[in-house]
Structure 1
Amino acid sequence: MKISKLPEPETEENPGERIEIELLLEALYRVHGLEFRNYAYPFVRRRILHRISAERLSTISGLQEKIFHDSGVVARLVADLSINVTEMFRNPDFFQAVRTKIIPKIRDYPEIRIWHAGCSSGEEVFSMAILLYEAGIYHKTRLYATDICEQALQKARQGIIPLERMKIYTKNYHKAGGICAFSEYYTVRNKTVFFSSELKNNVIFAQHNLATDHSFNKFHIIICRNVIIYFNKVLQERVYHLFHNSLSVPGFLGLGEKEGLQYSGIACYYHEVAKEQKIYVKLAGPGTHNL
């Protein structure tokens, strides 16, 4: 089957592409309640063009038609628009900083609540669970792992990973200060890694859309790494305020290496705990709650 050429990059000769994309995103929101209208345009465009090719379509409007009539296409497009790049102990120095700069501050709390926002398939959540276990405080911690993509959450709930990834994950673990043999935390069957059920006991996986949903608890730590860079300025500000209203005082916020609070409207209420690792502590501000 011959496939028509995909849309060219937006130019003066092709001014309607952005309109088509905006209409498609509007359809996603109005028909399915899925909010991607404030995601960064270059990111959204790349993912939509990929989905057009994968579905063997020729136009953005053709994909929009599928949005109204084909739930399978909707699910696949949502998976494309979700940020699912992750790995265990990604950027090991971040987890090392959590070990040395955050854990000592919260170790004596009677209970600890942590929110992993945009958890994807769960690798960072299990990384945190291992870190907390080795610190001796996992038993009193509840981890809330959320993502917009139900497909990613299904993978996360299973706690399974291809064996081929474990070489780099083991290396990351030791760079992050791991104190055990990493293989103690999983079993292998048919080239698939199954994490210990103990690491899942205190984790709650749930669907949550940072673009539309509200705060659902008060947390001592919020981790949201390499997600906000895909949002436009309006949505970034919304998410920063959402996290601000969800943190205790003091409460710790961990962001991705290309993200930061310096240009947000709440920056004055935070202090940098680890500058290079983008870890902040909330000190004060509107909507604060001492826990």
Structure 2
Amino acid sequence: MIDPDFDIELKLLLEGVYLKYQQDFRQYSVASMRRRMRAAVDRFDCKTLSQLQDRVLHEPAVFAQMLRYFTVQVSEMFRDPPYFKAIRELVIPELQTHPTFKIWVAGCSTGEEVWSLAILLDEEGLLERALIYATDINPEALRKAGEGIYDLDRISQFSSNYIAAGGKASLSDYFTIAYDKAIIPQRFKSQVVFSDHSLSTDSVFSEVHFVSCRNVLIYFNRELQNRAIGLFYDSLSHRGMLGLGNKESLQLTSFADRFKEIAREERLYQRT
């Protein structure tokens, strides 16, 4: 049930966050934002969203904690294996034609997709030719992504995904195990640059050959989706490729005719 008063408070909160912290969530999906803000009100033991807004605007530490509610930080290595299998079969041959190339993982969360791509590139003998830009708006998520440290109890699921995605070895070969943690080795980390970047407010920062932005656009309204895809289009080189989440599509965006579909089910597109 929609609460008109809550929606007014929500608009005021998002406007306040934009003015105070220059983080723009005003064009995120309203339905999704309602759910997450109600959870945040409970988490911070507030009676109303306005009460939470007061804390967010006057306590920067609260805003930092709120980023986990403004954005969705859910990922796993080789998530949606057919997507990574399609990258191996369709994107890798294109990347192999370049002496060096750049990849942009937009909305990288805590890094699982970044390291999945790094492992895939390594198996195809391309890692040393690659530079991966991994961006997100959540500093804490970026910190965790850069560390590349994951709980051992997650590795079983990661390994199942890896095998289904066409992995050529054992995923455990790509980790160092210490203190009940699985750690990505340094040779992978040297090929990745982590950086704060907002699809809502920031501009293109480099020409890249492949953009992977998965399960991010579903949280945007149509206007912000068009802005984000415009950034991807402008950043992609000639014949550059774009990968989206399995519930996302270019079909209803302003850029539908500027990409050709190369794998419908896996949501892979090529810039025309």
1:88-127 residue CA offsets vs partner (Å, 9 max, x unmatched): 0000010000001111122030111000000000000000
Partner of 1:68: 57
Counterpart of 2:251?
262
Aligned equivalent of 1:24, options 13, 31, 50: 13
- 1:164 is aligned to 2:175: no
- C-alpha separation in 2, matches of 1:122 and 1:68: 29
Q: Residues 29-84 of structure 1: CA distance to partner in whole angstroms, max 9, x if unpaired?
A: 00111100000001111111111111111101101111221111101111211121
Give the structure 2 partner of residue 57 of structure 1.
Answer: 46
Deviation at 1:219, TM superposition (A): 0.7
2: CA distance, partners of 1:80 / 1:183: 32
Code of the residue aligned with 1:120 in structure 2: it is S
1:111-169 CA distance string (max 9 Å, x none): 11000000000000000000000000110100000001001001001010000000010
Q: Equivalent residue for 2:139? A: 150
Which residue does the alignment assign to 1:272?
261
Aligned residue in 1 for 2:124? 135
TM-score w.r.t. the length of structure 1 is: 0.92
Question: Equivalent residues in 2 for 1:238-257 (5 A)?
Answer: 238-257=227-246
CA contact (8 A) 2:200 2:224 kept: yes
Please give the alpha-carbon distance, in whole angstroms, between the structure 2 residues aligned to 1:241 and 1:108: 25
Aligned residue number for residue 3 of structure 1: none
Contact 1:145–1:205, Cα closer than 8 Å, also in 2:
yes
* Contact 1:149 1:207 survives alignment (8 Å): yes
How far residue 180 of structure 1 moved from its aligned partner, in angstroms, is: 1.1
Q: Contact conserved, 2:222 with 2:253, CA < 8 A, in 1?
A: no
Unmatched segments (≥5 aa) in structure 1: 1-8, 284-291
Q: 177, 202, 222: which one pairs with 2:211?
A: 222
Supply the AA of the counterpart residue of 1:163.
L
Does structure 2 retain, via aligned residues, the 8 Å contact 1:29–1:35?
Answer: yes
Q: Which residue of 2 aligns with 1:287?
A: none
> Of 90, 96, 100, which aligns to 1:111?
100
8 Å CA contact 1:115, 1:223 repeated in 2: yes
The alignment's TM-score, normalised by the length of structure 2, stands at: 0.98
Question: Are the equivalent residues in 2 in contact too, given 1:257–1:277 (CA < 8 A)?
Answer: yes
| Matched-pair identity in % | 40
Answering whether residue 102 of structure 2 is matched by residue 100 of structure 1, we say: no
Deviation readout 1:244-287 (Å, 9 max, x if unpaired): 1111110000000010111111111211111100000011xxxx
Structure of higher CA gyration radius: 1
Distance 2:57 2:89 in 1: 50
Q: In the alignment, which of 210, 217, 224 is matched to residue 235 of structure 1?
A: 224
How far residue 205 of structure 1 moved from its aligned partner, in angstroms, is 0.3
* Counterpart residue number, 2:164: 175
Is the helix fraction higher in 1 or 2? 2
CA distance in 2, matches of 1:68, 1:142: 37
Q: What's the offset of the Cα at 1:209?
A: 0.6
Residue matched to 1:10: 2
Amino acid at match of 2:39: H
1:249–1:282 contact (8 Å) kept in structure 2: yes
Superposition deviation, residue 10 in structure 1: 2.4
Q: Secondary structure at the residue paired with 1:281?
A: strand
Q: Letter of the 1:245 partner, please give it.
A: D
Amino acid at match of 1:131: L
Tell me the secondary structure at the aligned position of residue 56 of structure 1. coil
Mapped partners of 1:61, 1:266: distance in 2: 38
Contact 1:185 1:196 in 2 (8 A): yes
Letter in 1 for 2:182: V
Structure 1 segments, 4+ long, off by >3 Å, are none
Q: 2:183 aligns with which of 184, 194, 204?
A: 194
